[in-house]
Structure 1
Amino acid sequence: MTKDNETPVLHVNQSGHAPRAVVFVEKNQRPLTPAEAKRARFIKNLKNNYARLNEALAFFEYFAAICELSLERRETIRKANKDAIEELSKKLEEKLAEYDKRLKEGA
């Protein structure tokens, strides 16, 4: 069927009509509304971006240790990393709340 990182989509092309697509998710494979599909893609992208940010920040900490930077500098890097993660988490929560609000208004 599909891999974990893929979302199943049914494309329908009828002559004389605009192309349509139905997106399926979860185990029950129910079709999503366009807003729900956009939210699902958004969440998937957020998870990927969050993972990439964590990898990049971990690299900076590792690089600082290899370069034998002072403990104060390494602690500053750790604090900056923690602040970046917190800021990103806050932004993501705000965007998800906005998406949820739009979904409720549309329903």
Structure 2
Amino acid sequence: MTRQSPDTIFKQDFIEGIAVAPWRIRSVNVLPNYCLSVTCNEGTTGTVDLSQLIFSERAGIYSALKDEQLFNQVRIELGVLTWPNGADLDSVWLYEEIAKNKVWCVPR
């Protein structure tokens, strides 16, 4: 078994200073009904359904995403899905759910 030095592993896990962890989001596309199609760094793909969360009584910061214009402004910052109002999603949890089920209905 070939072992890599910690320095080599560290360099492989970062590109231009950004961690290349498998759970980081590589691409996102907006789908109808408050859903997103996502691809993670190592190729895992799936759908994130935010509709239950957004329309929940306890939506908090996510309630602003009812505005489709705001929802459609989703972007990727350092591998994390974010919106201009400060809302974001836990990429590790997202990755684990779509790796298992291909669809993640974000709980409310």
Could you state the TM-score of these two structures normalised by the residue count of structure 1?
A: 0.22
Q: Which protein shows a greater Rg?
A: 1
Q: Which has the higher helix share?
A: 1
Q: Which has the higher contact order (CA 8 A, sep 6+)?
A: 2
